[in-house]
Amino acid sequence: MDLNLFGIGILLGVYVGVVPVYLGLFSLPLLQRLRREWLDFLVCLTLGIMLFLFVDVAGEALEAADKLPAAIAVPADGQASVPALDKLLYDLFGAGSGTILGPLFMLTGFALGVLGLVEFGRRLDRLREAGGSWGGLLNPATLSPQMQLALLVSLGIGLHNLGEGLAVGVAYGSQSFALATVLIFGFAVHNVSEGIAIVSPVSRSQVDLRTLALLGMLAGGPTVIGTLIGIYIFSNALSIIFFAIAAGAILYVVIEITASLGDRFRNSHLNYLGIMAGFTVMYLTSLLVLL
Amino acid sequence: MNEVRPGFALAAVVALLAFMVITPGWFLPQPATASGSLLAGHLGEHDAPESDCGPVSDDPIKRVTLVAQATVWEVAPGESFPAWSFNGVIPGPVICLREGDTLVVTLENRLPTIASFHAHGLAREPSSDGTFLTESYAVPGGSYTYTLQADSTSVGTWAYHDAVAELDEGAFIDGLSLPESGEGIERGMFGAIIVYGEDELDADGLPVGYDHELVLIEAEFEAEVTAGPVYMTINGRIAPATPHYQFQAGETVRFRIINVGPNANHNLWVSGLDWRQTQSGEHVDSVLFGALEFGDFTLEVGEPRETRYVCSIEGHEAAGMHGLFSVIE
């Protein structure tokens, strides 16, 4: 294994995902100074950010599914090399199978994402009702409904960043790549908002450093994993599944956030402004991501 | 409980920002930048002809590896756009062949879309055509190997480019895909192929009859690609980063000129000098090429002068398609 390329892969994930998320997380003291009335606005900001991420990653999944027919149409013979999993699909199902497999992977991944987060949310509920902690990292006092929401948001963002890391790993994971600083800057600005989205629900709670570290790793760490996957074992079929799982997971988080707001959501124009602000910030910063 | 105190958060933010700003240059390869106009041509005293190909090997099988990849390409200092390229440079590497050579190109694809190597002027089977309907492309994360022949009709100047990246439905007419289709060529995936005839190289593999031989590729990058201005480029740059051609008085220079388009015509003048079409000997004031036209033109640079070259098509000079041309003692 080329240790240099491995190291670059980790660094890419750190620059693109981990550091920007933590930059956003450390906005917590600033958010804690806002008046209590702004809490719902912040939760709606998170909702707007997650809505954008859903649109973004669902679009990626659909696009990847559209491209699968071309990606597995070429047999891996002496002339062509094809990612291993795509070759397996070609061998098992033939050249024309992409038209069916693309949507199949898309829907399967989507279902996995939704149901996976449903099960995770259910386990968190049971943990909170039992007054337990999670792996020793959270204590009963901090596993509030708001913290539970922050955990779900982190997980959803982490799955989104897994797909983002995949794209970075494919694009830049070769020996001859050169990454312009402007690209890192684009990713950083875009992903800072994700950190803010995570801590917004807990801006009225006590959050300790270990918890913040955990939330950051949940959200940003998958970028490193995705980058390494993109460099070493990328597969067009796998990318559909990753993006679709993220889309399903984020949809669940969007529904959970909306449910947590309840009737308070409808009674305030400020809340709708929060949604629009979150969506707009993510959209505008996504234009800086020149990938 | 270790709460997140404002002072600690601020320190953490400053440290992380410093890490993001300072360290990428230490650890990650940086792309080549357009640091002003580079001299091209006569850079110092030389006994032998100088060419962009250098000495061409007499190995009858030439192997080239190209990596289709995303890059941020700087057309001039401070002006860049998200591009696709072969090996991170625009234009891609020059491929230099002798008549009778076999060219083996391995294309590795690091783009999020299919990509191909489509060459003009070389003989090839459909499986090495690099077009969509022949399924001769590299999938994302994969590779494809093309085998082509430089036969007697291949002698001259040609272009290679991608023909399938982000192919859309408009590229199909009556079930046939247009060979020059997709976004790859529009985003920077192109380069030059030079095939030398049997009597065109000396014993050292250098061109006979010229003091200098250079490749000049004209390309436009449209607003949809740059998300902003239109760039009319010479060898991937706009003024003031276009090549500053410099030659010694009395030298004979051969330009291998390619217009890769994808759409615009270009009409290249060197103020005060006439071009001579190399094969026919015809004298022309300017080289007028449509998209995907290529050819060889010779300049007798004559007496010392400071002049310039420019594309005279309306708007192209303003879009960057000009540069300096010097003839020194």
B78 occurs within a structural domain: yes
DSSP B29: P
Q: In this complex, do A80 and B24 lie within 8 Å of one another by their Cβ atoms?
A: no
Q: How far apart are CA A183 and CA A167, in angstroms?
A: 13
Tokens representing A15? 């620059």
User: pLDDT averaged over chain B?
Assistant: 89
Contact at CB, A176 and B87, closer than 8 angstroms: yes
Check CB contact under 8 Å for B80 and A209. no
Smallest CA–CA distance, residue B162 to chain A, in Å, is: 16
pLDDT surpasses 80 at B28: no
Is residue B5 one of the residues assigned to a domain? no
pLDDT greater than 70 at residue B49: yes
B216 domain-assigned:
yes
pLDDT attached to residue A1: 59
3-state helix, strand, coil in chain A (%, to 5): 80, 0, 20
Which residues of chain B lie closer than 8 angstroms to A183, CB-CB?
72
A234 contacts B140? CB cut-off 8 A: yes
Rounded to a whole number of angstroms, the distance from the CA of B21 to the nearest CA of chain A is: 8
Contacts (Cβ under 8 Å, ≥6 apart) of A198 = A21, A24, A25, A46, A150, A153, A154, A157, A215, A216, A219
To the nearest 10 degrees (0 to 180), the angle between helices A145-172 and A38-71 is 30
- Residue of B4, B13, B128, B147 best to disrupt the A interface, most CBs of A under 10 A: B4
Mind giving me the DSSP string for A151-180?
Answer: HHHHHHHHHHHHHHHHHHHHHH-STT----
Mean pLDDT of B185-195: 95
Q: How far is CA B109 from CA A83, A228, A248, B245, in A?
A: 11, 17, 29, 34
pLDDT at B269 over 70: yes
pLDDT band at B35 (very low <50, low <70, confident <90, very high): low
All residues of chain A having their beta carbon less than 8 Å from the beta carbon of residue B114 are 67, 70-71
Is B173 touching A (CB cutoff 8 A)?
A: no
pLDDT tens-place string over residues A11-62: 889 998 999 999 999 999 988 888 877 888 888 899 999 999 999 899 989 9
- Per the DSSP assignment, residues forming a β-bridge with B277 are B297
Kind and range of the H or E run holding B279:
none
Interface contacts (A, B; CB < 8 Å): 160
Maximum separation of any 2 CA atoms in chain B, in Å: 86
Domain membership of residue B141 (yes or no) is yes
- Secondary element (H or E) of residue B172: strand B172-173
Cis peptide before B49, with omega less than 30 degrees from 0?
Answer: no
What residue type is B51 in one-letter code? S
Q: What is the pLDDT of residues A72-102, one digit of tens each?
A: 877 777 788 888 888 888 888 887 788 889 9
Identify the CATH number of the domain in which residue B252 sits: 2.60.40.420
Count of other CB atoms within 10 angstroms of residue A123: 11
Residue B54 lies in a domain: yes
Which stretch of A104-113, B45-54, B164-173 has the lowest confidence by average pLDDT?
B164-173
**Contact list, B4 vs chain A (CB under 8 Å):** 26, 28-29, 207-209, 212
In the 3-class helix/strand/coil scheme, how is A251-273 assigned residue by residue? HHHHHHHHHHHHHHHCCCHHHHH
**B1/A176 touch (CB, cutoff 8 Å), yes or no:** no
pLDDT digits (tens, 9 = 90+) for B91-115: 999 999 999 999 999 999 988 888 9
For residue B17, being part of any structural domain is answered with no
- Pairing state between β B123-124 and B143-149: antiparallel
Check: CB of residue A281 under 8 Å from CB of residue A49: yes
Residue B252 contacts residue B299 (beta carbons within 8 Å): yes
> Which stretches of chain A drop beneath a pLDDT of 70?
1-3, 131-143, 173-183, 267, 290-291
Q: Is residue B197 part of a domain?
A: yes
> Quick one: DSSP state of residue A96?
G
How much is the pLDDT for B249?
94
Q: Do A67 and B114 touch (CB under 8 A)?
A: yes
The whole domain housing B194 covers 39-328
B204 assigned to some structural domain = yes
